[in-house]
Structure 1
Amino acid sequence: MIDGLDPEYLATCPAPNLQRFASDGFHVSGGGMMPSVTNVNNTTMVTGHYPAQHGIVSNYWLDRQAGIEEYVESGEFICSETIFAQCRRQGGRSLLAASKDKLRRLLGDDTDLAFSSESPTTQAVAAAGNPPDVYSLEVNAWTINAARSALNAQHYDLAFIASTDYAMHTYGPDHPESRRHITILDEALGQLVADIPDIQLLITADHGMSDKRRMLHLPAVLAKRGIKARAIPIIKDHYVVHHSNLGGCIYLHLEDPTALSDALGLLRETDGIEEALPRTEAAERFSLMEERIGDIVVTGSADVVFGDPSEVALPPGLRSHGSSHERQVPIIGYGGDFGGFEFRENRDLGRYVSERVLG
């Protein structure tokens, strides 16, 4: 999982190994889940299910029953079986290597080995060196190389390697640093394939990336009509250097549920808002678990993020995700028998593993 790998990066940056994998295997353009954020899509990949089944609908949420906001970074929130649990149930061994430690904490249950660049094992450090800073271009290669060393040291039937999108948040596809980052990634992937005999490799992204130039504070918009609302930033996590907790989709919880119709009308008239959907309609449209989302789900135009100016200023040159404009992702398969299986979404990678490899 190459975090934030918008298709534009592959179209712009040289990546000879990825091009070879695509040429010798397959390469299609697929869709990601909504909201187009990390936790939602990675959980989809490792379960093969939509968020309506696995229950991860954001990076950060409001627990309605407890009345508290919290980060969604624990496997206890996942409601369906992962491919790691399926692998273990069938007597296999699995590995998870992540650049971001939040993915180790969220997805690492039922693996035989799970580590991150922020929480490395002594074996990973011995094999790949001290991890680079998580806000660096080199950290993703470290994660891939550490996973490669682990796969060479012991037998694993299944491995999930997850990068971080710091580089994509920071640099557009035509920036020289993007070319350098993709080159580093591509070389690490090439070495992975060279070192692991009979590898079956599937590559995709959790979401794309867009330039953002406008910020909307929706509680203030609604307050003009006397409607009180609580906004929950779906993209929010501990990696604020990436995106300043500003994303293109947000959940709104209304203080007065009877104000729903008026709130929807006002939001739909607001420039920069693409869609404002009531909970049930949003859950059906995006295959989300209804009880875990807001009263209203709002998505923004391609250049819009949602946030509170009293908490954060819109950073110059911000690149972020969360909206429907960051749903398109590449899907590449190499070394396996993928015939007769249709890959349309990043979800299908987990579905392929569950049904064709482990099933």
Structure 2
Amino acid sequence: MIDGLDPEYLDACPAPNLAAMAQRGFRVNGNGMTPSVTNVNNVSLVTGSYPETHGITSNYLLDRQLGEEFYMESAEFLRAETMFQRATACGLRSLLVTAKDKLRRLLSDGATVSISSEDPPGWVVSGVGEPPPIYSLEVNRWVLDAGRYAMSQEPFDLVYLTTTDYAMHTYAPNDPESARHVTLLDEGLGAVLEQAPGARMLVTADHGMSDKTRMLHLPAELGRYGISARAIPVIKDRYVVHHSNLGGSIYVHLDESSDLNAALDTLRNLDGVEDAVSGEEAAARFHLMQERVGDIFVLADPSTVFGDPSEVAMPAGLRSHGSAHETTVPIFGCGPGLDTSTAARFRQNLDVGRYVFEDVLPPRPDGLLS
């Protein structure tokens, strides 16, 4: 799972190993989940299910019953079985390697071995070297090399490698740094496939990336019309250098005295807002768990992000995601049974997870449902 791998990067940057994968197997462009953020899409992938089932609707959550805010980055928030848990139940061995430690904490329950670049075990450092900083181009190559090294030390039936999108937040597809980064990724993926030539390999992304030029503070805009509200950024996490917690979607929570329809009308008429829907409609349209979204889900146009100017200034040259305009992702597959005849099965990135559950992993021996 290549974080932030918008298809535009593959259009602009040579990737011969991925091209060879597509020639031997297939490549399609599919859709990621909305909101187009890391946690929502990674969990959809490893559970093969929508957020309405697995419960991860954001990187960050306001629990209205408790009145508290949480980073959604631990397994306690998951409500669906992961491929690692299924593998363990079936007596199979699995490996998870991540760049961000938040994803290791979120996804790793059930994994036989889990590794992150931010807190790597000594045996991996001895074999691969010290990981580069999380805010670097090279860290993603380290993730791929760490996965390949772990695979050389122990047998695994299932391997999930997931990177970070700092490079895509920082550099546009035509920047020379992007060509270097894609080369690092492509060579690393080629080395993994060369080490396991008989394996089935699937490569996809969680979301795309867009240039952003405008910031809107929705509580202030609503306040002009006497509507009191609180906005919770969907993209918010601890990696603020990436995106300054500015993304193209946001959950709005209204005070009890505020009128939902008036708020929706106000938001829909704001320049920069592409759509605003009630929490109920958002849950139905985007397969979200309604109890974990706001009263209103707001989506921006391609160039707009949502944020609070008292907390963050709009950075020059910001690239970010979260809106419906960053949902197009590439999907590659190669290996036994993965060819052009099976490409039609992969319309969304979560179809990679569905394939693992349906074609790779056996049913649970205890007969329990996922």
Give the TM-score of the pair, scaled to structure 2. 0.96
Map 1:206-225 to 2 at 5 A: 206-225=206-225
SS at match of 1:17: helix
Q: Look up the match of 1:77.
A: 77
Q: Look up the match of 2:345.
A: 342
SS at match of 2:160: strand
Map 1:200-349 to 2 at 5 A: 200-256=200-256, 258-338=258-338, 339-340=341-342, 342-349=345-352
Separation in 2, partners of 1:350, 1:250? 26
Shift in Å, 1:9 = 0.3
| Contact 1:233–1:246 under 8 Å retained in 2 | yes
Q: Look up the match of 2:367.
A: none
Separation in 1, partners of 2:14, 2:261? 50
Shift in Å, 1:124 = 1.1
Map 1:20-31 to 2 at 5 A: 20-31=20-31
Q: 1:358 aligns with which of 345, 356, 361?
A: 361
SS at match of 1:202: strand
Shift in Å, 1:334 = 1.2
SS at match of 1:69: strand
Q: Aligned in 2, Cα 1:231/1:132: closer, same or farther, shift over 3 Å?
A: same
Q: Which amino acid aligns with 1:246?
A: L
Q: Deviations over 1:104-150 (max 9, x none)?
A: 01001110000100010111101110000000000000011011010
Q: Which amino acid aligns with 1:64?
A: R
Separation in 1, partners of 2:317, 2:199? 39
| Contact 2:227–2:258 under 8 Å retained in 1 | no
Q: Look up the match of 1:165.
A: 165
Shift in Å, 1:336 = 2.9
Separation in 1, partners of 2:299, 2:123? 43
User: Which of 14-23 and 252-261 deviates more?
Assistant: 252-261
SS at match of 1:95: strand
Separation in 2, partners of 1:187, 1:239? 26
SS at match of 2:263: helix
SS at match of 1:348: helix
Q: Look up the match of 1:175.
A: 175
User: Which of 14-23 and 190-199 deviates more?
Assistant: 190-199
Q: Look up the match of 2:365.
A: none
Shift in Å, 1:65 = 1.5
Q: Look up the match of 1:113.
A: 113
Separation in 2, partners of 1:17, 1:86? 30
Shift in Å, 1:198 = 1.2
Q: Which amino acid aligns with 1:351?
A: R
Q: Deviations over 1:263-285 (max 9, x none)?
A: 00110111110010001100000
Separation in 2, partners of 1:334, 1:280? 39
The 4+ residue runs of structure 1 with deviation greater than 4 A are none
SS at match of 2:251: strand
Q: Look up the match of 1:39.
A: 39
Separation in 2, partners of 1:197, 1:178? 28
Shift in Å, 1:197 = 3.7
Give the TM-score of the pair, scaled to structure 1. 0.99
Sequence identity (%)? 58
Q: Look up the match of 1:148.
A: 148
Q: Which amino acid aligns with 1:279?
A: G
| RMSD of equivalent CA atoms | 0.9
Shift in Å, 1:260 = 0.4
Separation in 2, partners of 1:192, 1:127? 15
Q: Look up the match of 2:368.
A: none
Shift in Å, 1:256 = 2.2
Q: Which amino acid aligns with 2:241?
A: V
Shift in Å, 1:199 = 1.5
Separation in 2, partners of 1:56, 1:244? 21
Separation in 2, partners of 1:85, 1:242? 31
| Contact 2:228–2:258 under 8 Å retained in 1 | no
Q: Which amino acid aligns with 2:333?
A: G
Shift in Å, 1:257 = 5.7
Shift in Å, 1:335 = 1.1
SS at match of 1:275: strand
| Contact 1:152–1:196 under 8 Å retained in 2 | no
